[in-house]
Amino acid sequence: MQRVVIAGGHGQIALHLTRILHARGISAVGLIRNPDHADDVREAGGEPVVADLESAAVEEIASVLRGADAAVFAAGAGPGSGVARKETVDHAASVLMADAAESAGVRRFIQISSFGAGEPIPDGMDEVFAAYLRAKSAAEADLVRRDLDWTIVRPGRLTNNPATGLVRLEEPTMPKGDVTREDVAAVIAALLPAAGTAHTVLLLTEGDTAVSDAVARVNH
């Protein structure tokens, strides 16, 4: 694993992942929409590339991916956004990234999804959060149909607490729980070279198993 391209490169999980990869001598390329975020990506040890996944053509993203070992979809519209941007970022941008990966010949693809994706939407759920889960579910459904070495990770409720290094990582189903963004990044970094996790959906919360051991258990 020499070069990884991360969609949503300025997100908190993406920046944590960039730091981890940089420390391991792996080149991390962060796709960012806002040029003002470039210095934050550089500070984390990554290479920023300005590309708006809501408007870019497939070939524009494929040109960045070409020669990479893996793609990570870590983009999201964020908690302050409305229903429309859940669709354009959490779903459509993931489709674009996967199209670009196929075009560029990058087989390894990790998608950061969410607990609740791929499941029925409960009655009475907040409209925006329901739209978010529908978008994540649609992105997952698109990815699993593709001839890529995909792994889908559904983290629980994200926190900004310091990393614990201890997680619970299992195929569905398991109880809901919290997980730190830094621990999510550590799990993604460990999953990237774990070829035996291809074509697997994994749920992730805090737990009592070291990240490396948790990934080893699901790396069939």
* Domains defined along the chain, listed by start: 3-218 (3.40.50.720)
Question: Percent of the chain scored above 90 by pLDDT?
Answer: 91
Q: What is the pTM of this model?
A: 0.97
CB 153, CB 184: distance < 8 Å: yes
pLDDT surpassing 80 at residue 80:
no
**Of 85, 132, 94, 86, nearest in space to 112 by CA:** 94
**Mean pLDDT to the nearest integer, 61-68:** 98
What pLDDT was estimated at residue 186? Answer: 98
Could you tell me the pLDDT band of residue 1, with boundaries at 50, 70 and 90?
confident
Average pLDDT, the chain: 96
The residue type found at 56 is: A
Question: Percent of the chain scored above 70 by pLDDT?
Answer: 100
CB 173, CB 125: distance < 8 Å: no
Which runs of consecutive H residues, i.e. helices, occur in 66-180?
Answer: 83-85, 94-104, 127-144
